[in-house]
Amino acid sequence: MPVLLFTIFFITLLITTVTSISLTTSNLAARDTYRVSAQLAADAGLDEGLNNLNTTAGWTGSGTEITLLDTGTIKTTYQTTLANGATPDRKILAVTAKTYSPSTASTPKITRKYEVDVQAVTSGTGPSSVVTGVGGLILGNNAKITGGDVVVNGTITVNNNAQIGLASTPESNAVNIRVAHTNCPSPADSTYPRVCAAGENGQPITIGSNGKIYADVRATNQTTGTNMFNPGLVPNQTVPPTTLPSYDREAQKSAVTTTLSPADSSIACGNNQTKTWPANLKITGDVILGNNCTVNLSGNVWIAGKMIYGNNSKTIVPASAGTTPPVIMIDGFGGLIVGNNGKVQTNSSGTGIYFITYWSVGSCSPDCADVTGTDLKLSQIVPTISLLNNGSAPGSILYARWSQVMVVNNGAIGAVAGQSIWLGNNAVINFTASVPGSDNLKVTWVKRGYMRVFN
């Protein structure tokens, strides 16, 4: 009897021990499953967060718990947040991942929290030759841009038989086009300009019959890639607006050492005359160069009125400028007009002139620090730089700060910037310079550190 009792007790103890071990093992296995599932949810949340940070302007986090998996037996979720880091190029991407079992449970079995320190890395393909504000880029029939990257805040219109880029250019060296679609609302009000929402105000790139774009194209809200090649449209891209080039206008004004009337004998250049203008010059009114006039520049010029080139007139950039272009700053309505065969003659370094016009419809013109709303909408359609029949400005930069650059028929340009740019019918432009301060840059947020948060 004692032996039987001992045997029963021993067997019972053995069964209890085995059962306990089995339950413990099962619980540990289940908990490991919960932990692994939470870890996978955390990794998925961080991956999606980093992708959204790089592709969605203004993204600040998921807002709510996102369900990654729900089998009924188990459910995993993640929630992401984004906070500023120690410096402007740093951010903290945080994720909270949870595993629920069963799926209907209100309290998670496992919670995991992680933070990733991300940093902005900027890369680019070099300076751009065409930079426009919200007025955008318009190519008339048969107009062509055959070189230089194109950065546009507004829209691009490519009319019949117009073209950007060349089919013969290898894809690895293709023109880059970036369009931010920042020309809303329409009609303009005091909030103009802002980035258009998806489906608002159409798509930013419109191509007419037989129009072609041979470029790497990325554009906010653009879904149609018809007639875009080499490699064409990269879909689902968000392009941030580009700040147009800045220039220290006040510094040039302060540097003026000579102020003269346009009628002064040292300034006025009639037919077949040659004049030399001093550096750091201010001319108090309209400057009209006669036919076959030649002006030798010595440095920067500030013109309070407009500047018109006569037939075959030219300005010559001094050798002393080297690779730094002299600036001609123009304030008057009408701005700069380079007429038939008018020309900027570069120096031996291939340097032209940096022309900047400042007129706008704003009451602050020409000294506006900023122009927005309906004032900007009205200003951007008024040409203040006009390069007409066979006008030529190789190596030069044409910049209409608040208004339009208009190029009609063939003409050589170094680079061009403006609130809007219109290339008239048959204009064929080969760019030989870049817009100061511009760069076709791309900001990518990358991981620097990864750590678990225990709380």
Say yes or no to pLDDT of 449 above 90.
no
Residue 288: C-alpha distances to residues 260, 282, 427 (Å): 14, 15, 25
pLDDT confidence tier of residue 136, bands split at 50, 70 and 90: very high
- At 404, which amino acid appears? Q
Report the pLDDT value the prediction gives residue 17, as an integer from 0 to 100. 54
Report the pLDDT value the prediction gives residue 122, as an integer from 0 to 100. 47
Least confident among 118-122, 138-142, 176-180, 208-212:
118-122
Report the pLDDT value the prediction gives residue 415, as an integer from 0 to 100. 85
pLDDT confidence tier of residue 192, bands split at 50, 70 and 90: very high
Report the pLDDT value the prediction gives residue 123, as an integer from 0 to 100. 41
CA 140 to chain centre: 24
Comparing 256 with 72, which gets the higher pLDDT? 256
CA 200 to chain centre: 19
Cα torsion at 432, 437, 442, 447 (round to 10°)? 140
Say yes or no to pLDDT of 40 above 90.
no
Report the pLDDT value the prediction gives residue 34, as an integer from 0 to 100. 82
Say yes or no to pLDDT of 200 above 50.
yes
**What is the mean predicted confidence (pLDDT) over 151-157?**
95
Report the pLDDT value the prediction gives residue 268, as an integer from 0 to 100. 97
- Identify whether the C-beta of residue 396 lies closer than 8 Å to the C-beta of residue 354: yes
Say yes or no to pLDDT of 256 above 90.
yes
Domain segments of the chain as ranges = 2-124+444-453, 127-439
Say yes or no to pLDDT of 440 above 60.
no
Q: How far apart, in whole angstroms, are the C-alpha atoms of residue 66 and residue 229?
A: 38
Residues 6 or more apart whose CB falls under 8 angstroms from that of 364 comprise 371
| Phi/psi of residue 371, nearest 5 degrees | -135, 125
In percent, how much of the chain has pLDDT > 70?
Answer: 85
Say yes or no to pLDDT of 438 above 80.
no
Comparing 242 with 428, which gets the higher pLDDT? 242
Neighbours of 165 (CB within 10 A): 25
Tokens representing 412? Answer: 């050589």
Comparing 127 with 328, which gets the higher pLDDT? 328
Tokens representing 408? Answer: 């009609």
Q: Are strands 441-453 and 110-124 parallel, antiparallel or unpaired?
A: antiparallel
CA torsion sign for 437, 428, 322, 280 is negative
Say yes or no to pLDDT of 424 above 50.
yes
Taking CB atoms within 8 Å and a gap of at least 24, the contacts of 186-190 are 188/373, 188/374, 188/376, 188/377, 189/373, 189/374, 190/372, 190/373, 190/374
Beta bridge partners of 315: 295, 344
pTM assigned to the model: 0.70
**What is the mean predicted confidence (pLDDT) over 135-146?**
88
Say yes or no to pLDDT of 407 above 50.
yes
**What is the mean predicted confidence (pLDDT) over 436-443?**
58
Report the pLDDT value the prediction gives residue 3, as an integer from 0 to 100. 56
Q: What is the mean pLDDT of the chain?
A: 86
Residue with tokens 């459910």: 75
Comparing 23 with 450, which gets the higher pLDDT? 450
Say yes or no to pLDDT of 321 above 50.
yes
Report the pLDDT value the prediction gives residue 12, as an integer from 0 to 100. 62
- Identify whether the C-beta of residue 409 lies closer than 8 Å to the C-beta of residue 389: yes
